Every structure is written in structure tokens, then in C-alpha cells.
Amino acid sequence: MQKCSHCQQKFTLGQVFKSFWCNYKTILCANCKTQYNHTTKNKTLGGISAALGVIFGSLAWALIELDKSTKIVILLVVTILFTLLFSVFSSYFFTFERVDVKNHA
């Protein structure tokens, strides 16, 4: 996980994960309150995680032979589960860029 470039405080997985699920919300360093934005790379990784979740959901749909209503539940559960799983995994590769407050006025 990336460290704060100002105070070397490490971002936690929970912090990164929560920010990701809040539509790539700006991360605040827990120690010095420096703000960080998600990079384009994170958004790409997030998109891939969701795509993989959908692919696994479709696979479950194709492979499981049950009645349609049960399959819909399985499809949803598998898609959500795998999207979460892949997004936790990709959170480890997320990078952030510091928001320069001075140039932001």
C-alpha cells in the first residue's frame, strides 16, 4: 500500500477500499490530513474488477443447471462476490497523487 509522501503514514486497505466504493473519493492521510486523489490506473483496475465479476457471474450462469429464479440469485451473488474480491485484490496496486492545495485556489 502507498505511503503518505508527507509523513510516511501508510494508507490502510480499509481506507483505500472504502474510498474506491465511494466512487473514488479523495483519500485523507489519517495522520497529517494531506489529500490524495485516485490515479487513472485505479479507475482502470476498478473497471477490470467489475468486468471480471460480471464474467464470473456469467460463467456461473452458463455452468449451473437450476431453475431460472435460483440462477438469477446465484448470478447476482457470484458477480457481487467476485467484484468485491477482485477490488480488494486490486486495492493493493492502487496509487494516489497528492492534491496540491496551494495550486487549487
Grid cell listed for 4 = 503518505
At 29 the three-state DSSP class reads: coil
Q: Smallest gap, in angstroms, from Cβ of residue 14 to Zn ion? A: 16
Can you tell me which of 3, 18, 21, 31 binds Zn ion, judged by CB under 5 A?
31
Beta bridge partners of 97: 37
Can you tell me which of 3, 9, 47, 48 binds Zn ion, judged by CB under 5 A?
9
The answer to whether residue 44 forms part of the interface with Zn ion (CB under 5 A) is no
Count of residues near Zn ion by CB under 5 A: 8
Contact 48, 90 (CB under 8 A): yes
Span of 8-16, 62-70, 76-84, 86-94 interacting with Zn ion by CB under 5 A: 8-16
Q: Give the CA count within 13 Å in the CB-facing half-sphere of 46.
A: 17
